[in-house]
Structure 1
Amino acid sequence: MDVLSDANRLAREGRDIIHMELGEPGAPVPAAVRAAAEAALARGRVGYTEALGIPELRARIARLYADRYGVEVPANRIAVTGGSSGAFNLAFLAMFDVGDRVGLPTPGYPAYRNILTALGLEVVEIPTTAEARWQASAAAIEKVHAERPLAGIIVASPNNPSGTMMTRDGLKSLVAACADMKIALVMDEIYHGLVYDGDEVTALEFSGDAVVVNSFSKYFCMTGWRIGWMVLPEHLVRPVERIAQNLFISPSELSQRAALGAFEAKEELETVKAGYAASRRLLLERMPKIGLDRFLPVDGAFYLYADVSRYTNDSLDFCRRMLHEAGVAATPGLDFDTSRGSSYVRFSFAGRTEAVAEACERLGGWLG
């Protein structure tokens, strides 16, 4: 966000800045979403709803799991939330007690660490490697748990910042290991729908005990509507409902009504995804030619996590210079990995393909 603030300041001063720092779709909200919101507003009343969301939306989300994965999920296990951020807060509050140790594979989304810390939980970083495709293995979790027990672990597939996914077998073994060790699993699946290579597998295929978080922000292009959901095991439904009632009363009714329209926008959303795929192909082809050749193929999401150690050991300074000298804004790896992130930069390709191509041209000239 500091990079964004600096980039916006330069833009106000007249600089032409290409934004590759934010994980936000550049596409507009789908027409069906806008139409659903307009219809809700036309009815003249937007009010409180049930704490876990309106029944229609919970049922439609449950149907998504049947259609996309062939997994049956009862609607009463769906909790609609104020974005995935609201889901993580509710899940952590319901699942853990102050002082509990929660594993966090790194590199990973920095808000996990910050939310856990704010709630008085102990974050246990579990370093992953490029060789392991930046994903935690069951063996790595078992090793950390043996040293001192973990209460839970948070895993993302596709991963932010790398875009890499767990294989079906890898996810199955991780879910089984967590069950054996009685480690609560929170699975971040917010980039599902945006998968280019490999199988899109939900943890719910292997367990009804995992808490699965998803969102309308990424695939459905609804970031500003702040609407997400999670699938809960039966024993957590009522605790989450009680916490949600007290903290939030309910998710926004307008956003929930709009989200119902998102399921009718598949053609438009697949066109947006095709644009990401084109940008991905361009980056995979062009980045090695300009000297940024150390990264993994991007399975999903819209990020490329590049090793910049041949140019710097300070990714924050690298990103500042890249912004000011080349007009390209990207995110330093320190956001995602406090111990090794000084050698990495995350490039988002959620914007227009033409902007991604121009960024490659600028970076090629800048890196020499």
Structure 2
Amino acid sequence: MPVSRRGEIPPFVVMEVAKAAVELERAGRPVFHLEVGQPSTPAPQTALAAARRALDEDILGYTLATGVHRLRARIAEHYRRVHGIEIPIERIVATTGSSGGFLLAFLAAFDGKGRVAIAAPSYPCYRNILGALDVEVVAVPCGPETRYQLTPALIEEAARVHGAFDGVIVASPSNPTGSIISEPDMRALSGYCRAARMTLISDEIYQGIQYDIPVVTAAALDEEAIVLNSFSKYFSMTGWRIGWMITPPTLLRSVEKLAQNFFISPPTISQLAASAAFDATEELDGHVRRYRANHDIVMAALPSLGINQYAPPDGAFYVYADVSHLTDDSVKFCADLLQATGVAITPGVDFDVERGHRTIRISYCTSTGAVTEAMERLKAYCAERG
């Protein structure tokens, strides 16, 4: 049977690592999951209670393609409370996870043969989804001098080599680095994209999980920016597959029609549960305090591993580190580490095709006990390698 070339994209490597880790667990081995960015906590109690009520009282049929009014109103209230801005409910679209939002955004904003700039390192699904849609992706190398984030200067330099861009994707806090784009830098990026008639897509799914540096939403700076967010990370609702996007007025009808045809609507029970998740701030902020404790454990362990080059982990729950003193093949290093110690981490090739063979990502959103034990095992393993 013929196979569409759209499926001939690289795998999401972290999920390959997770699959190997699960197989090891099935064989009876203890595994420490520091590979996937999935909180180890369930959905907040308010969300679970709302879901139970919905099961008892609601038909749970289709909703509008853009989502139920109740959820979109709570999202608008969230932006008013947290960011001090007014977002019209009409511009808020509930999505099937942020992944569904990326697909809608990319389809609405870019034609095939378009060209989009992303940071290297960055979330691999940007590159892979755009590739499946026949959009050219240029991964622009970023390093410590820009906190591993794109800047107008880097985009301008890349455009001189590759040609003009139709769009730019940024993430703050970033996966895999955890770095945050400051308000002045986001303002500069926003202004640059607007002047150059490029679509700015801001991935903000880790907002709410930041430590010492405040975050800014691109929605506060430019109504033509596309903002993606999710209930998966701060709200601890990964498997519920519910997210949202702030859509520019010019793309609203396109996004709505695409959503109608691709998804009909996001999962109804997830929308109703997510509406109540905004009432769980105390519970959710408790998770962030645990992430901060885990962050400190990982950072304290890095020197004993000989790791002194890493991205600034300002937020999210990741450390992205250079391990070139340990390996020149991060895929093999992570596979060997898993088999030897049961510690699952992600090779950097998932996030940076060119330089990722020298880097790893450690996710610390699991329990503090698991992070502590994993760091001890990692230290022992690296000590044995000399």
Shorter chain as denominator, the TM-score bin is over 0.9
Q: 1:274 aligns with which of 264, 272, 289?
A: 289
Q: 3-state DSSP class of the match of 2:51?
A: helix
Q: In the alignment, which residue of structure 1 is the partner of 2:207?
A: 192
Give the letter aligned to residue 229 of structure 1. W
What secondary structure, in the 3-state scheme, does the structure 1 residue paired with 2:202 have?
A: strand
Q: Which residue number in structure 2 is paired with residue 207 of structure 1?
A: 222
Question: In structure 2, what is the equivalent of residue 28 of structure 1?
Answer: 42
Partner of 2:117: 103
Structure 1 CA distance, aligned partners of 2:36 and 2:22? 12
The structural deviation recorded for 1:296 is 3.0
C-alpha displacement of 1:236: 0.8
After TM superposition, the score normalised by the length of structure 2 is 0.94
Displacement of 1:58 in angstroms is 0.7
For 2:7, the equivalent position in structure 1 comes to none
Pair 1:65-2:79 in alignment: yes
Match of 2:253 among 216, 238, 244: 238
Shift of 1:43: 1.0
**Counterpart code for 2:23:** R
Matched, 1:134 2:160: no
1:167-182 equivalences under 5 Å are 167-182=182-197
Structure 2: distance between partners of 1:275 and 1:191: 15
Distance 2:362 2:99 in 1: 22
Give 1:341 deviation, angstroms: 0.2
Q: Which residue of 2 aligns with 1:115?
A: 129
CA drift at 1:72 = 1.1
Match of residue 357, structure 1, among 352, 372, 377: 372
Rounded Cα–Cα distance in structure 1 between residues aligned with 2:264 and 2:342: 43
Alignment partners' CA distance in 1, 2:303 and 2:267: 45
- Deviation string 1:142-162 (CA, Å, 9 cap, x unpaired) is 222344111111111111101
Letter in 2 for 1:180: A
Q: CA RMSD in A?
A: 0.9
Alignment of 1:156-167 (within 5 A): 156-167=171-182
1:299 is matched with 314
Amino acid at match of 2:20: D
Deviations 1:54-87 (A, max 9, x none): 1111111011111101111111100000000000
Q: Aligned to 1:297, what secondary structure does the other structure show?
A: coil
What does 1:314-353 align with in structure 2 at a 5 Å threshold?
314-353=329-368
Q: Give distance in 1, aligned partners of 2:285 and 2:172.
A: 20
Deviation beyond 6 Å, 4+ runs, structure 1: none
- The amino acid of 1:105's aligned partner reads A
Structure 1 SS opposite 2:64 = coil
Which of residues 78, 83, 91 in structure 2 aligns to 1:77? 91
Provide the secondary structure at the position in 1 that maps to 2:66: coil
Q: CA deviation at 1:297?
A: 3.1
CA 1:44 to 1:56, structure 2 compared with 1: closer, same or farther past 3 Å? closer
For 1:244, give the aligned amino acid. Answer: A
Larger CA deviation: 5-14 vs 230-239: 5-14
Identity %: 47
Q: What's the CA shift for 1:204?
A: 1.5
Q: Counterpart of 1:11? A: 25
Which 5+ residue runs of structure 2 have no aligned equivalent? 1-14
Task: Give the drift of 1:199.
Answer: 1.3
Q: 1:285 aligns with which of 271, 289, 300?
A: 300
Aligned to 2:69: 55
Q: Is the 8 A contact 2:181 2:215 kept in 1?
A: no
User: How far, CA to CA, are the matches of 1:291 and 1:20 in structure 2?
Assistant: 19
Is 1:311 matched with 2:326? yes
Equivalent-residue separation in structure 1 for 2:250 and 2:83 (angstroms): 23
Q: Secondary structure of the equivalent of 1:131?
A: helix
1:97-131 Cα deviation digits (max 9, x unpaired): 11000111110000111100101111111111122
Contact 2:348–2:357 at 8 Å: present in 1 too? yes
Count of residue pairs brought into register by the alignment: 368
Moved more, 139-148 or 324-333: 139-148
Unaligned runs of 5+ in 1: none
